[in-house]
A = this chain, B = another copy of it.
Amino acid sequence: MEYVQELKIFENYLAENNMHLTRPRKVILQVFLQTEGHMEIEELFEKTKMVDKNIGRATIYRAMNLLVESGLAQENSLIEDKKCFERVYGRKHHDHLVCTRCKKIEEFHHPMIERFQEKTAKKHQFTLISHHMTLFGVCQNCNCNM
Protein backbone atom coordinates (compact mmCIF):
# COMPACT_ATOMS: atom_id res chain seq x y z
CA MET A 1 0.00 0.00 0.00
CA GLU A 2 1.38 3.33 -1.08
CA TYR A 3 0.61 6.70 0.42
CA VAL A 4 1.13 5.55 3.99
CA GLN A 5 1.08 9.10 5.34
CA GLU A 6 -2.14 10.02 3.66
CA LEU A 7 -3.82 6.80 4.68
CA LYS A 8 -2.85 7.42 8.28
CA ILE A 9 -4.25 10.95 8.18
CA PHE A 10 -7.51 9.70 6.73
CA GLU A 11 -7.73 6.89 9.28
CA ASN A 12 -7.12 9.31 12.11
CA TYR A 13 -9.72 11.73 10.86
CA LEU A 14 -12.28 8.99 10.52
CA ALA A 15 -11.48 7.51 13.92
CA GLU A 16 -11.75 10.89 15.61
CA ASN A 17 -15.23 11.22 14.20
CA ASN A 18 -16.37 7.68 14.84
CA MET A 19 -16.33 6.81 11.19
CA HIS A 20 -14.96 3.74 9.52
CA LEU A 21 -12.32 3.22 6.91
CA THR A 22 -14.39 1.15 4.52
CA ARG A 23 -13.42 -0.49 1.27
CA PRO A 24 -15.14 2.14 -0.90
CA ARG A 25 -13.39 4.92 1.02
CA LYS A 26 -10.05 3.18 0.61
CA VAL A 27 -10.60 2.80 -3.12
CA ILE A 28 -11.66 6.42 -3.52
CA LEU A 29 -8.63 7.63 -1.54
CA GLN A 30 -6.31 5.60 -3.75
CA VAL A 31 -7.88 6.81 -6.96
CA PHE A 32 -7.80 10.39 -5.71
CA LEU A 33 -4.13 10.17 -4.75
CA GLN A 34 -3.17 8.56 -8.04
CA THR A 35 -4.82 11.26 -10.11
CA GLU A 36 -2.68 14.19 -11.16
CA GLY A 37 -3.90 17.75 -11.01
CA HIS A 38 -7.51 18.71 -10.87
CA MET A 39 -10.33 16.24 -11.02
CA GLU A 40 -14.11 16.30 -11.15
CA ILE A 41 -16.51 13.91 -9.47
CA GLU A 42 -17.33 12.26 -12.77
CA GLU A 43 -13.67 11.46 -13.45
CA LEU A 44 -13.26 9.93 -10.02
CA PHE A 45 -16.47 7.98 -10.52
CA GLU A 46 -15.22 6.51 -13.81
CA LYS A 47 -11.87 5.59 -12.29
CA THR A 48 -13.27 3.96 -9.19
CA LYS A 49 -15.56 1.94 -11.44
CA MET A 50 -12.46 0.27 -12.88
CA VAL A 51 -11.55 -0.95 -9.41
CA ASP A 52 -15.03 -1.61 -8.07
CA LYS A 53 -17.97 -1.05 -10.32
CA ASN A 54 -20.43 -1.06 -7.44
CA ILE A 55 -19.26 2.20 -5.90
CA GLY A 56 -21.91 4.82 -6.49
CA ARG A 57 -21.66 8.49 -7.24
CA ALA A 58 -23.15 9.44 -3.87
CA THR A 59 -20.35 7.64 -2.09
CA ILE A 60 -17.78 9.58 -4.12
CA TYR A 61 -19.40 12.86 -3.14
CA ARG A 62 -19.45 11.81 0.49
CA ALA A 63 -15.89 10.53 0.51
CA MET A 64 -14.52 13.63 -1.20
CA ASN A 65 -16.08 15.79 1.48
CA LEU A 66 -14.32 13.69 4.08
CA LEU A 67 -11.02 14.02 2.24
CA VAL A 68 -11.42 17.79 2.26
CA GLU A 69 -12.31 17.80 5.95
CA SER A 70 -9.30 15.64 6.77
CA GLY A 71 -6.99 18.06 4.99
CA LEU A 72 -5.96 15.78 2.14
CA ALA A 73 -7.99 17.43 -0.59
CA GLN A 74 -8.96 20.92 -1.54
CA GLU A 75 -11.98 22.05 -3.46
CA ASN A 76 -11.33 24.49 -6.26
CA SER A 77 -13.81 26.55 -8.17
CA LEU A 78 -11.94 26.60 -11.44
CA ILE A 79 -14.77 25.09 -13.37
CA GLU A 80 -18.06 26.88 -13.43
CA ASP A 81 -20.90 24.98 -11.80
CA LYS A 82 -18.92 21.91 -10.96
CA LYS A 83 -16.93 20.68 -8.04
CA CYS A 84 -13.25 20.24 -8.69
CA PHE A 85 -10.67 18.74 -6.35
CA GLU A 86 -6.93 18.56 -6.05
CA ARG A 87 -4.41 17.11 -3.65
CA VAL A 88 -3.19 19.45 -1.01
CA TYR A 89 -1.34 17.34 1.55
CA GLY A 90 2.40 17.30 0.96
CA ARG A 91 2.06 19.84 -1.81
CA LYS A 92 2.99 23.50 -1.70
CA HIS A 93 0.27 26.12 -1.75
CA HIS A 94 -0.31 27.57 -5.18
CA ASP A 95 -2.78 29.54 -7.23
CA HIS A 96 -3.98 28.95 -10.76
CA LEU A 97 -3.67 30.35 -14.23
CA VAL A 98 -6.38 29.12 -16.58
CA CYS A 99 -6.42 29.35 -20.35
CA THR A 100 -9.91 30.40 -21.34
CA ARG A 101 -9.60 28.71 -24.73
CA CYS A 102 -8.07 25.29 -24.14
CA LYS A 103 -8.85 25.17 -20.40
CA LYS A 104 -5.24 24.33 -19.59
CA ILE A 105 -4.45 24.96 -15.94
CA GLU A 106 -1.03 26.07 -14.73
CA GLU A 107 0.04 26.60 -11.17
CA PHE A 108 2.01 29.47 -9.73
CA HIS A 109 3.11 30.82 -6.42
CA HIS A 110 3.99 34.42 -5.75
CA PRO A 111 5.18 35.13 -2.20
CA MET A 112 4.86 38.89 -2.64
CA ILE A 113 1.23 38.62 -3.62
CA GLU A 114 0.61 36.47 -0.58
CA ARG A 115 2.30 39.02 1.64
CA PHE A 116 0.20 41.84 0.21
CA GLN A 117 -2.92 39.81 0.76
CA GLU A 118 -1.95 39.46 4.40
CA LYS A 119 -1.37 43.18 4.65
CA THR A 120 -4.66 43.96 3.00
CA ALA A 121 -6.54 41.73 5.40
CA LYS A 122 -4.80 43.34 8.36
CA LYS A 123 -5.63 46.81 7.09
CA HIS A 124 -9.29 45.83 6.98
CA GLN A 125 -8.99 44.21 10.40
CA PHE A 126 -9.79 40.78 9.05
CA THR A 127 -8.14 37.61 10.28
CA LEU A 128 -7.21 36.01 7.00
CA ILE A 129 -8.23 32.38 6.63
CA SER A 130 -7.74 31.63 2.96
CA HIS A 131 -8.00 33.05 -0.49
CA HIS A 132 -9.02 32.23 -4.02
CA MET A 133 -6.93 33.67 -6.77
CA THR A 134 -7.23 32.61 -10.36
CA LEU A 135 -5.86 34.39 -13.39
CA PHE A 136 -7.67 33.94 -16.67
CA GLY A 137 -5.92 34.42 -19.97
CA VAL A 138 -4.95 32.91 -23.28
CA CYS A 139 -1.93 30.65 -23.34
CA GLN A 140 0.84 31.02 -25.91
CA ASN A 141 -0.29 28.01 -27.86
CA CYS A 142 -3.84 29.26 -28.22
CA ASN A 143 -2.62 32.78 -28.97
CA CYS A 144 -0.69 31.49 -31.98
CA ASN A 145 -3.53 29.39 -33.35
CA MET A 146 -6.11 32.13 -33.34
- Residues on A lying within 8 angstroms of B by beta carbon are 77, 97, 99-100, 106, 108, 110, 112-113, 116-117, 120-121, 123-140, 143
Instruction: Give bound CA distance, A136 to B126, whole Å.
Output: 8
Q: Lowest 7 A-B CB distances belong to which pairs?
A: A126-B137, A125-B140, A128-B137, A133-B133, A127-B138, A131-B135, A132-B134
- With contacts A108-B123, A112-B116 known, what are 7 further pairs, Cβ within 8 A? A97-B120, A97-B121, A97-B126, A99-B126, A126-B138, A129-B136, A131-B133
Could you tell me if A126 and B120 are in contact, using CB atoms closer than 8 angstroms? no
Complex contacts, A116 vs chain B, CB 8 Å: 110, 112-113, 116
> What residue in chain B is nearest A111 (Cβ atoms)?
B116
Instruction: Give bound CA distance, A131 to B131, whole Å.
Output: 13
